[in-house]
Amino acid sequence: MTEDIQVSFKELGLAPAVFKVIDEVGYETPSPIQARSIPQLLAGRDLLGQAQTGTGKTAAFALPLLSRIDVKLKQPQLLVLTPTRELALQVAEAMQTYARHLKGFQVLPVYGGQNMGQQLRQLARGVQAVVGTPGRIQDHLRRGTLKLDQIRAVVLDEADEMLKMGFVDEVEQILAEAPPTRQMALFSATMPKEVLKIARRHLNDPEEIRIKAKTATVETINQRFWQVKGLHKLDALTRILEAEEIDGMLVFVRTKTATADLAERLEARGFACAALNGDMSQTMREKTVEQLKNGALDIVVATDVAARGLDVKRISHVVNYDIPNDTEAYVHRIGRTGRAGREGQAILFVAPRERRMLASIERATRQPITPMSLPSRRAIADRRINLFNEQITEVLQSQEMEFFEELIDQYQHEHNTGHRKIAAALAYLAQKEKPLQTPELAAEELPEPRQEPARRERSSRGRGTTDSDLQSYRIEVGRMHGVEPKHIVGAIANEAHIDSQKIGHIQIFDDHCLVDLPRNLPPQLLKKLQPVWVCGQRLRISVAGETRGGRPPFKRRPAGKKPQGWKKPPYKGGRKKPAGK
């Protein structure tokens, strides 16, 4: 089965709760591996898939298998084996996102090096999906803490890598523990004999799917990446727009909703920008492309589908604001620049947890992608001053100035003011809408806050700031999204213009954070922070303690007070559960 299939996610028959997530985030078209795998797995068939990392494999098996989960059954029903802890975390995080409307669903990543006690507690509470490395999965099977008798589906992800790492025996033993009636999917970039042996032994009449790796050499395109840190991505993009020689720019995001959101925010910062997505009529799409061609627009924010076939010679830069789901999409994206022998610039924003995809893209393009530093405030100020000087020179060379010279002479005579001061006042008027030096745009990356070695928290009290000056706020981004204190501090300080020293204690939980900010922030400031993105999530800030989605208000225990039933730990670093919990 090798032909391309052009379908939408709506046509694939996913469970309503799973499709709702896809619809909410605005994903438009499944990748080839997704379009071919999802119907087969939904139908209960075994599957043997050959596909490279970066082709969208995780969604290809997670979406259909989550659609078949029974959330009422608090026992493992889906087991995913991965070669590394990094991939286990990545798959578990993706599943948690896709299943956010499956009430009661829990996924547990298990891998070596993680606290065993934490895994045991979560298994005891009940989980429907387990994602882990073969060694640690086998540890739990030996202990009897993981039961596979209710397993309905098993996935071997990157099977060839697991075998290279010597996990053949572990994989065989784990599969022997699973019920013979379970469904199975095996994905591998290559198909060595050992992988085929496992497939023949454990897969029942599998559907075979092969996605050919498409490589591309983009010699006329200079490829760079920025490691997302400190600043919010919007601020990073603004710096690039301010400092580089840009003719036209295409900015790629993953979803339709993100196109409108980012375009609106760039417009608010003074850039000629518009969105381009599949929800727009053909007439509107054509009009937007034409405006980009004739210079009425300088920036278009687009999704992969909307930008197909787009050919605009003046596009000098392509920015991957959101990293693509597969390498083929990346090649198509950056191919919009570097046309007609001109050198193009491709910039990729990469979060720490997306480094695997970066490596896959480098293999696919057969070119290194070099790291870049964001322009400094001095570089941005110098660029603005140079552009201002160029505008003055152009006006002096192309316009008749006699009337204005007489006007200045008259003003000087009437107000006894020197030409230098008058020129300075006029320069201020000319640039005040876009100052040559602005504190907001010029601010360098904030220093990373100090963190205690064993806790991902930040405690920062500015000079003269006390607990009574602060109030706890909740934001809807947490550990599962990869957030760190520096991301939160950078976003709030930049968007709300709050001095970083006035941002207090930060507590990071799985799906949210609590942040101490100055008490009684103005409503308009909270409204401004609502749509701000951090680690792919909107902050949706609210005062901690307000009920959200039926959750009870969060109550903070006074400092130093022990919870009821607390007992002294029996060993250093340990802590017993409160009585009755």
In Å, how far are 191, 210, 237, 494, 554 from 129, measured between CA atoms?
A: 27, 26, 38, 39, 28
Look at residue 461 in the predicted model and tell me its pLDDT: 44
67 and 137, same domain (yes or no): yes
Q: What is the mean pLDDT of the chain?
A: 81
Question: How far is it, in rounded angstroms, from Cα 455 to Cα 448?
Answer: 15
> Which has more pLDDT, 342 or 392?
392
32 and 158, same domain (yes or no): yes
Look at residue 547 in the predicted model and tell me its pLDDT: 44
**CATH number of the domain encompassing residue 505:** 3.30.70.330
Select from 333, 353, 375 the last residue of a domain: 375
| Domain boundaries, position 35 | 9-210
Which pLDDT band, with edges at 50, 70 and 90, does 511 fall under? confident
Number of folded domains that form the chain: 4
pLDDT at 572 over 60: no
Name 513's bridge partners: 475, 508
361 and 417, same domain (yes or no): no
User: Is residue 150, in this structure, part of any structural domain at all?
Assistant: yes
151 and 254, same domain (yes or no): no
58 and 127, same domain (yes or no): yes
Lowest average pLDDT, out of 65-74, 527-536, 543-552, goes to 543-552
Secondary structure string (H, E, C) spanning 12-58? HCCCHHHHHHHHHHCCCCCCHHHHHHHHHHHCCCCEEEECCCCCCHH
Are 138 and 178 contacting, i.e. CB atoms less than 8 angstroms apart?
no
414 and 469, same domain (yes or no): no
User: Is residue 190, in this structure, part of any structural domain at all?
Assistant: yes
Identity (one letter) of the amino acid at 30? P
User: Is residue 560, in this structure, part of any structural domain at all?
Assistant: no
**CATH number of the domain encompassing residue 297:** 3.40.50.300
Which pLDDT band, with edges at 50, 70 and 90, does 462 fall under? very low
Lowest average pLDDT, out of 207-216, 324-333, 571-580, goes to 571-580
User: Is residue 285, in this structure, part of any structural domain at all?
Assistant: yes
- DSSP run (H or E) holding 134: helix 134-143
> Which has more pLDDT, 431 or 58?
58
pLDDT at 324 over 60: yes
Listed in sequence order, the DSSP H helices in 178-317 are: 193-202, 233-243, 256-268, 282-294
Are 349 and 228 contacting, i.e. CB atoms less than 8 angstroms apart?
yes
229 and 84, same domain (yes or no): no
371 and 383, same domain (yes or no): no
226 and 366, same domain (yes or no): yes
> Which has more pLDDT, 239 or 54?
239
362 and 310, same domain (yes or no): yes
| Chain segment 208-239, per-residue pLDDT in tens | 998 875 555 567 789 999 998 767 899 889 88
Look at residue 464 in the predicted model and tell me its pLDDT: 46
User: Is residue 200, in this structure, part of any structural domain at all?
Assistant: yes
182 and 137, same domain (yes or no): yes
Look at residue 127 in the predicted model and tell me its pLDDT: 94
Name the residue with tokens 């993009």.
237
Select from 386, 415, 442 the last residue of a domain: 442
User: Is residue 339, in this structure, part of any structural domain at all?
Assistant: yes
Select from 327, 342, 375 the last residue of a domain: 375
User: Is residue 382, in this structure, part of any structural domain at all?
Assistant: yes
Instruction: Find the mean pLDDT for residues 23-50.
Output: 88
| Chain segment 376-421, per-residue pLDDT in tens | 777 777 777 877 888 888 888 888 888 988 888 888 888 888 888 8
409 and 511, same domain (yes or no): no
User: Is residue 312, in this structure, part of any structural domain at all?
Assistant: yes
